[in-house]
Chains A and B, each alone.
Chain A
Amino acid sequence: MDFANLGAQLNAGTILPEGVVILTLLVILVGDLIVGRTSSRWTPYVAIAGLVGSLTALFYQWDISDPIGFLGGFNSDALSIVFRGIIALSAAVTIPMAIRYIEQSGTSLAEFLVILLTATLGGMFLAGADELVMIFVSLETLSISSYLLTGYMKRDPRSNEAALKYLLIGAASSAIFLYGVSLLYGLSGGETNLNAIASNIVAQGSEPPIGLVIALVFVIAGIAFKIAAVPFHQWTPDVYEGSPTPVVAFLSVGSKAAGFALAIRLLVTAFPLVADEWRFVFTALAVLSMVLGNVVALAQTSMKRMLAYSSIGQAGFVMIGLIVGTDAGYASMVFYMLVYLFMNLGGFTCVILFSLRTGTDQISEYSGLYQKDPLLTLGLSVCLLSLGGIPPLAGFFGKLYLFWAGWQAGAYGLVLVGLVTSVISIYYYIRVVKMMVVKEPQEMSDAVKNYPEVRWTLPGMRPLQVSLVLAVVATSLAGILSNPLFTLANNSVTNTPLLQSSVAMTQDAGAPVQLADAEINQ
């Protein structure tokens, strides 16, 4: 095998966006080593620039002729590009909100950035991984850096507790996932490539082996842990409450997006034989997540815990798109992740700002904030109302598209559960808005009474302000001017051969069933 041929087969250009991130990571690491502490003045901007560069590289990969890289190990199709874009973007928006937070806690910024970029890298590789070993390595890259990030506040016992919990549950779920993967490897006769696995198992006979179902269950346990679906969600509230808030912001969007990308690719490619089974399991997970996430959120007194449960509920909504498995279903998932990125990160930006100024994240401490900080109030209100699905904000259109796709595919029960739980969610989102806007000056909380004067000139505050304004503007306008986003989401699905064949299969499978029904009726 000559090198030219090998080079062509490796097709290393497909991971150019990840290459840019790695390079950025090295620059920060080495730069920090050489310059020392003062490097914190430029490192975050290098990181953002690197992520933007990576996004640009992704943009130019859109219509790539040969998306398969590394001998089938990595797939850079439109779906993976969109999800990698979401992960990189979420990291890029997380960094500006972390600068001040990390500075104020007295820990090193460069290390934080390096670990965050590593997590981003893991997520991006995961979104494109097409092979079992690749999937597991990138999953572990993402997970281990997430554990590190969670425990980044070394002197804060709650952060330590969160990291330990996350590590233990995460490691257990990784092990279960790995076991499922190993079953898959054995059943397929020693294949690691997802397509080969599917075709080998199909070739063995029409009846799916029982081992495949067991493998499916174990794999779903691993995925459900990443996307925090009930009943694999127990870590979420504790980890969200204890971890540094910027980390939570990244976990709730970037890490979750990676989980969904993995879910789509792995389930659709490797488990076509048991498609009904995994749809059924996910239906149960979705219903549980929507109901439990939204109902338990009602009772929370801590803002971060409330957002944790809200993110569980939101994941339940997104799963509707995965379950219906149509073009519109997948596209609505992508669209929802895109708008969710802005509204959720915007919400977390506001939570960070508030906790930086007052040192608390109790919901009751927000009362009367409108008098002291109208911008923060506006930002948090817009983001929370958007999460609740109030028009004309972006979240309304996102949910509408999910429910639309669900109804189109006939998942009436799921859509009804989604609608009812989203009404419940309006209640707890608007409770925060009420706290901030409605309370009279005399009802102000102590934290707000002692609210420091708003000064954007402090070091690290300007980026925070920029990311807040960006998220709020995006959340307000992404709904009204949503056409380009819809087009992007739709194209990403129609340009992905993997999903197209799956959609065609679902429809083929659907047609005979209808015929059979008709015969029975006759």
Chain B
Amino acid sequence: MISQQFPWLTTLILFPILAALPIPVLPDRNGKVVRLYTLGVGLIEFALILYTFGCQYDLHHSGLQLSETYAWVPQLGLNWSVAADGLSMPLVILSGLVTTLSILASWRVTHKPRLYFTLLLLMYSAQVGVFLAQDILLFFLMWELELVPVYLLISIWGGQKRIYAATKFILYTAIGSVFILVAALAMAFYGDSFTFNLSELALKNYSLPFQVLAYIAFLIAFGVKLPIIPFHTWLPDAHSEAPAPISMILAGVLLKMAGYGLIRMNIEMLPDAHVYFAPILAGLGVINILYASLTAFAQDNLKRRLAYSSIAHMGFVLLGLAAFTTLGMSGAILQMISHGLIASVLFFLSGVTYERTHTLSMDKMGGLARSMPVVFTLFTAGALASLALPGMSGFVGELTVFLGMTTSSAYSVFFKSVILILAAGGVILSPIYLLSMLRRIFYGDPQAEFSMPSGSIDIRPRETFIAVCLIVPIIAIGVYPKLATQTYDAKTVEVANQVQNNLPLLAQTSPTFYSRILTSPQLTASKPDGLSAGLLE
């Protein structure tokens, strides 16, 4: 077995928080020492993450690794229990990369730098903690821990409507997370044994109505965060009002916490209920893709348009999760990683543009390609990746999701065709709104009333470095997807098999309940067929 002597994962979670403690007393004038220090902490943390997963972690092992458990509050049954598997590991690396780059992107924060960088490091810890927690109460704690830093980061350093956006963010997320706690308590006290440990919770035999209720609770909580369409309205506000480095983290990492939660809680722990909800997830995914893509058209604000494109891309994650196949699951995770990188680079570049033009309104921009050719190039690369150009990671992610859905034997041909055709419509929409965005910002002649502030330059080497750091993995994954998939393959195969095995079993045992669940209008016709197809196999 792998070395147990050093608590690597605990170190990964606690290091940024502990390193943030001396920030208030650092000798500092005009914020230079603080940002250097924070960058150092970020780099060390990222190096630690890479070292831990590079040297201490076995890729071919699907179970939990590097696990550590310490009793924290035994009276509550709360344990400091952390471990990594194929699901958490790529996402930890992603959050390490994105957060470290966002520290670098925050180079020009001169307003209250101490507070800013302290909060950033707090968020760093919370993100890593969410992905590594193996105790559902600890997961909830880490999930909540990230609330206040994000609230303050948006409301202090954000744009015009920052207070409104931040308050909306915290209320939505706090109400959503109530459901995590409720479901966690309900599951922990279910049956004779009492535990908060995720793997032990997954072994309990829940009755089906209970599973459905718990599934709904988790779906609401993660649906707010992911976001799923009726719960999404906080996201365009929060993402567009947040300062660019924070938007990078919000879009790049925080949305993935919800996708991760969906796989970890809903699919792994409540597989029976997932059978019933998978078609609904597919439907919601399609709504996400179409509705958000269409809304993105109407946005004049650059960052709002990107925010809606994020929602659309998360729709593919839902579609992948609903597919009941290894490919679909793998595609969902790949899509999360790829969107994490792409959204980060796009939000970062929109911040770079904003610093020079001082506006986010695309109506006021135009012809910027002439004055900022490098930004234009990078922006185009990001946008092309986002609209799933072959050779970029976005393409691989969406393609895998589509393949997963197509090859899924669980659904009827009719249902699959409808879902896939609609989703493919979204794939057509995304080039339209992304390319029109590029056209309005960079092509044509500069607007008459708009002039670039004098003395502004194209792009600084630091900014190029950040963008390149994000674009290189995008292309690398696009060309050689195994780079990403090998990190989680062992795990996704296991999860998908588990779900697949559940499928025929359930359709047989409780057909009445099943038909009642599926009375949602658009799916009724297709569903019984779909299930019997799964049954016959």
Chain A positions near chain B (C-beta within 8 angstroms): 328, 331, 370, 385, 390-392, 396-397, 400-401, 403-404, 407-408, 415-416, 419-420, 423, 426-427, 430, 433-434, 437-438, 482-483, 486-487, 490
B174: which A residues are within 8 A, CB to CB? 423, 426
CB distance from A130 to the nearest CB of B (A): 28
* B380 CB within 8 Å of chain A: no
Given the interface contacts A430-B151, A483-B73, does A423 sit within 8 Å of B175 by beta carbon?
Answer: yes
A483: which B residues are within 8 A, CB to CB? 72-74
Q: How far is the CA of A433 from the CA of B174 in the complex (A)?
A: 16
Contact A438 B185 (CB under 8 A): no
B137: which A residues are within 8 A, CB to CB? 400
Contact A407 B185 (CB under 8 A): yes
Q: Contacting chain A: which of B142-150, B456-464, B502-510?
A: B142-150
* B59 CB within 8 Å of chain A: no
Q: Contacting chain A: which of B163-171, B368-376, B441-449?
A: B163-171
Q: How far is the CA of A171 from the CA of B152 in the complex (A)?
A: 46
* B76 CB within 8 Å of chain A: yes
Contact B75 A490 (CB under 8 A): yes
Chain A minimum-CB-distance residue to B71:
A483
Given the interface contacts A400-B76, A434-B155, A437-B156, does A390 sit within 8 Å of B144 by beta carbon?
Answer: yes
Contact B148 A401 (CB under 8 A): no
Q: How far is the CA of A214 from the CA of B148 in the complex (A)?
A: 48
Contact A427 B76 (CB under 8 A): no
18 residue pairs A–B, Cβ–Cβ below 8 Å: A328-B75, A385-B148, A390-B147, A391-B141, A400-B76, A419-B181, A423-B178, A426-B170, A426-B174, A427-B171, A430-B151, A434-B163, A437-B156, A438-B152, A483-B72, A483-B74, A486-B73, A486-B75
In this complex, how many residues of chain B approach chain A with their Cβ under 8 Å: the count is: 30
Question: Of B145, B152, B166, B171, which one neighbours A391 at CB under 8 angstroms?
Answer: B145
B51: which A residues are within 8 A, CB to CB? none
A420: which B residues are within 8 A, CB to CB? 175, 178
Nearest first, the 6 A-B pairs at minimum CB distance are A407-B185, A486-B75, A419-B178, A391-B141, A438-B155, A423-B174
Dominant secondary structure of chain B at its interface with chain A: helix
A430-B148, A434-B166 provided; 20 other pairs, C-beta below 8 A? A370-B115, A390-B147, A391-B141, A400-B137, A403-B181, A403-B185, A404-B76, A407-B185, A408-B189, A419-B178, A420-B178, A423-B174, A426-B171, A430-B151, A430-B170, A433-B152, A434-B163, A434-B167, A437-B156, A486-B76
Q: Specify which of A390, A391, A401 lies most central, judged by the most chain B CB atoms within 10 Å of its CB.
A: A391
B156: which A residues are within 8 A, CB to CB? 437-438
CB distance from B186 to the nearest CB of A (A): 7
CB distance from B72 to the nearest CB of A (A): 8
CB distance from B81 to the nearest CB of A (A): 16
Q: How far is the CA of A404 from the CA of B156 in the complex (A)?
A: 35
Chain B minimum-CB-distance residue to A427:
B171
* B182 CB within 8 Å of chain A: yes
Q: How far is the CA of A375 from the CA of B206 in the complex (A)?
A: 50
Chain B positions near chain A (C-beta within 8 angstroms): 72-76, 112, 115, 137, 141, 144-145, 147-148, 151-152, 155-156, 163, 166-167, 170-171, 174-175, 178, 181-182, 185-186, 189
Q: How far is the CA of A244 from the CA of B75 in the complex (A)?
A: 39
Question: Of B144, B151, B152, B185, which one neighbours A404 at CB under 8 angstroms?
Answer: B185
Contact A415 B185 (CB under 8 A): yes
CB distance from B213 to the nearest CB of A (A): 11
Contact A397 B181 (CB under 8 A): no
Chain B minimum-CB-distance residue to A490:
B75
Q: How far is the CA of A400 from the CA of B163 in the complex (A)?
A: 29
Contact A427 B141 (CB under 8 A): no
CB distance from A192 to the nearest CB of B (A): 37
Q: How far is the CA of A73 from the CA of B73 in the complex (A)?
A: 37
A487: which B residues are within 8 A, CB to CB? 75
Q: How far is the CA of A355 from the CA of B82 in the complex (A)?
A: 45
Contact A407 B189 (CB under 8 A): yes
Contact B182 A419 (CB under 8 A): yes
Chain A minimum-CB-distance residue to B156:
A438
Question: Of B145, B167, B182, which one neighbours A392 at CB under 8 angstroms?
Answer: B145
CB distance from B33 to the nearest CB of A (A): 18
Contact B76 A401 (CB under 8 A): yes
Contact A396 B73 (CB under 8 A): no
CB distance from B215 to the nearest CB of A (A): 17
Question: Of A331, A407, A434, A438, which one neighbours B75 at CB under 8 angstroms?
Answer: A331
Chain A minimum-CB-distance residue to B178:
A419
A404: which B residues are within 8 A, CB to CB? 76, 185
Chain B minimum-CB-distance residue to A371:
B112
B163: which A residues are within 8 A, CB to CB? 434, 438
CB distance from A26 to the nearest CB of B (A): 41
A370: which B residues are within 8 A, CB to CB? 112, 115
B74: which A residues are within 8 A, CB to CB? 483, 486
A396: which B residues are within 8 A, CB to CB? 141, 144
Q: How far is the CA of A419 from the CA of B73 in the complex (A)?
A: 21
A433: which B residues are within 8 A, CB to CB? 152
A331: which B residues are within 8 A, CB to CB? 75
Chain B minimum-CB-distance residue to A328:
B75
Q: How far is the CA of A416 from the CA of B179 in the complex (A)?
A: 9
Q: How far is the CA of A487 from the CA of B171 in the complex (A)?
A: 34
Chain B minimum-CB-distance residue to A410:
B189
Chain A minimum-CB-distance residue to B177:
A423
B148: which A residues are within 8 A, CB to CB? 385, 390, 430
CB distance from A478 to the nearest CB of B (A): 12
A423: which B residues are within 8 A, CB to CB? 171, 174-175, 178
Q: How far is the CA of A419 from the CA of B217 in the complex (A)?
A: 14
CB distance from A297 to the nearest CB of B (A): 15
CB distance from A440 to the nearest CB of B (A): 9
Q: How far is the CA of A426 from the CA of B172 in the complex (A)?
A: 12
A407: which B residues are within 8 A, CB to CB? 185-186, 189
Q: How far is the CA of A513 from the CA of B182 in the complex (A)?
A: 26
Q: How far is the CA of A126 from the CA of B266 in the complex (A)?
A: 50
CB distance from B163 to the nearest CB of A (A): 7
B152: which A residues are within 8 A, CB to CB? 433, 437-438
A434: which B residues are within 8 A, CB to CB? 155, 163, 166-167
CB distance from B169 to the nearest CB of A (A): 11
B175: which A residues are within 8 A, CB to CB? 420, 423
Chain A minimum-CB-distance residue to B141:
A391
B181: which A residues are within 8 A, CB to CB? 400, 403, 419
CB distance from B176 to the nearest CB of A (A): 10
CB distance from A282 to the nearest CB of B (A): 21
Q: How far is the CA of A331 from the CA of B75 in the complex (A)?
A: 10
Q: How far is the CA of A408 from the CA of B188 in the complex (A)?
A: 9
Question: Of A328, A401, A427, A482, which one neighbours B167 at CB under 8 angstroms?
Answer: A427
Q: How far is the CA of A385 from the CA of B181 in the complex (A)?
A: 18
CB distance from B310 to the nearest CB of A (A): 25
CB distance from B490 to the nearest CB of A (A): 32
B112: which A residues are within 8 A, CB to CB? 370
Q: How far is the CA of A391 from the CA of B133 in the complex (A)?
A: 15
Contact A482 B182 (CB under 8 A): no
Contact B182 A416 (CB under 8 A): yes
Q: How far is the CA of A408 from the CA of B185 in the complex (A)?
A: 8
A427: which B residues are within 8 A, CB to CB? 167, 170-171
Q: How far is the CA of A280 from the CA of B73 in the complex (A)?
A: 31
Chain B minimum-CB-distance residue to A405:
B76
Chain B minimum-CB-distance residue to A480:
B72
Chain A minimum-CB-distance residue to B154:
A438
Contact A391 B144 (CB under 8 A): yes
Q: How far is the CA of A390 from the CA of B145 in the complex (A)?
A: 7
Q: How far is the CA of A426 from the CA of B185 in the complex (A)?
A: 21
Contact B73 A397 (CB under 8 A): yes
Q: How far is the CA of A427 from the CA of B151 in the complex (A)?
A: 11
CB distance from B378 to the nearest CB of A (A): 32
A437: which B residues are within 8 A, CB to CB? 115, 152, 156
Q: How far is the CA of A430 from the CA of B152 in the complex (A)?
A: 10
CB distance from B187 to the nearest CB of A (A): 11
